[in-house]
Amino acid sequence: MRFELSYVGNRGHRLTDTALAWNETSTQNFLNLVDQNPGFSIWNWMYCPSGYGSVSGVACPYPNFYGSPLAALAPLPQMAAAETDYWYGCCANINYAGLPLGQSFYDSLVAEVVKRAGSLTMDMSYVWSRQEGNSFSTEQDYNNGYTGVEDFQNMHGASHALTGYDLPQVVKGYVSYKLPFGAGQRWGATQNPAVRTVIGGWTATTLVAYYTGQPFRVGAADPYWPLWGNIYPQFNLTGYKGPTNPGKYVPVGPSGNPPVNDFYMPSSVASNPAAGFLPLSPYTSRLRCPGQANENTTFLKNDKVGPDGKYNISLRMDFYNLFNRHYYNIEGCGGNTAQIGSPTFGEILDVQDNPRTAQFAVRLDF
């Protein structure tokens, strides 16, 4: 038997991600504009016929500029003005290609137990880890994706935000055990030959995997879209006792209204930040989705039969999802986002059914 304890980590830099830039002004300019103009809206447009002076404390970027003050502060004001002008007609009209700004940080403590000889063999591991980063996929469009960025002037902070696919604890592996029944074994060795043949020679093998849940994803309203990329939610966890056990799921009745127990996370845990306030991190809370578990088991027996053991017969029984575990489609888990103010915030929408199955096989080699 061998026991190993190790650190495993990696660092990714200059990762390509199209989501890691936005045609927006600096955070300081943004906050100054909002603070100096109570009730500011990106739709309160300014007009600069001469191209000189300022409107609402914002300098005119070029003659005949007509657009939002936030667009006037953007690095490319012409494109920002077109963004607000045409957004509802089509789509965002500026993208960045090949940005080498992505970063990732992974740190883990790994404990592994391995046994290769005797009646019991196993390879089991436990991983305690943390995954941070600002990048998820090179195919990502814009910055409202899996790992959103609120402040592109603080990419260091964004790169050390907890990713949406962080799994802090994982246990997985296999255990194989030769059952002590039959001839020459602890139990059943004195039974008649027929009984020893039936109960002897069996091996049980189990594959297991246990995961803690991913972060519960919450999306805040962005009143400055499309001229500001992303707004982090404000978490309100005072008195928070933890999520509802999803095992209390009750099917929706004829009324169509979900029962109280069908909400995994109460909507009170998060709110939209006040105007002009930018929370520091998207994951300043302990909100987590349910973990997952799976067990698959096989019973296998090989015997020699016939004259002088000429033939080989194999008996096999496989059980998948041995304990018949089920999982739930929850608003805020599984890659989707629970939007603040949504009536389905944290709702358990349905059951992801993967029932226990079994198969049996007999094989004769001759």
pLDDT digits (tens, 9 = 90+) for 111-160: 999 999 889 999 999 999 999 988 865 444 444 445 578 888 888 888 88
Within-domain flag for 118: no
Question: Residue range 8-24: average pLDDT?
Answer: 88
Within-domain flag for 360: yes
- What pLDDT score was predicted for residue 140? 46
Q: Average pLDDT of the chain?
A: 85
Task: Say whether pLDDT at 349 is over 50.
Answer: yes
The model's pTM is 0.82
Percent of the chain with pLDDT over 70: 89
Q: At 53, is the pLDDT very low, low, confident or very high (cuts 50, 70, 90)?
A: low
The neighbouring-strand residues paired with 176 are 121, 205
Could you read off the pLDDT of 86-117 as tens digits, one per residue? 765 555 566 777 788 889 999 999 999 999 98
Count of the separate structural domains present in the chain: 2
User: Domain end: 50, 80, 95, which one?
Assistant: 95
Does 355 share its domain with 223? Answer: yes
- What pLDDT score was predicted for residue 334? 82
Say if residue 118 is exposed, middle or buried (CB neighbours under 10 Å; 0-12, 13-18, 19+): exposed
Within-domain flag for 311: yes
Secondary structure percentages of the chain, helix, strand, coil, to 5: 15, 35, 50
Within-domain flag for 303: yes
E strands, the chain, in order: 2-15, 46-48, 54-55, 58-59, 65-67, 102-115, 120-133, 169-178, 202-211, 218-219, 234-235, 270-271, 292-305, 311-320, 327-330, 338-339, 348-352, 357-365
Radius of gyration of the CA atoms of the chain, in A: 30
* Lowest model confidence (mean pLDDT) among 227-231, 293-297, 339-343: 227-231
User: Domain end: 73, 95, 117, which one?
Assistant: 95
- Distance (Å, whole) CA 65 – CA 67: 6
- What pLDDT score was predicted for residue 147? 54
Does 363 share its domain with 235? Answer: yes
Within-domain flag for 158: no
User: Domain end: 95, 118, 139, which one?
Assistant: 95
Within-domain flag for 49: yes
Does 217 share its domain with 366? Answer: yes
The length of the chain in residues reads 366
Q: For residue 176, which of 125, 119, 126, 124 has the smallest C-alpha distance?
A: 119
161 or 173, which is more confident: 173
Within-domain flag for 146: no
182 or 340, which is more confident: 340
Six-digit token string for 358: 């079994």
- What pLDDT score was predicted for residue 12? 94
- For residue 33, the enclosing domain spans 22-95
Within-domain flag for 157: no
| Residue 273: C-alpha distances to residues 162, 215, 231, 234, 338 (Å) | 20, 20, 8, 5, 16
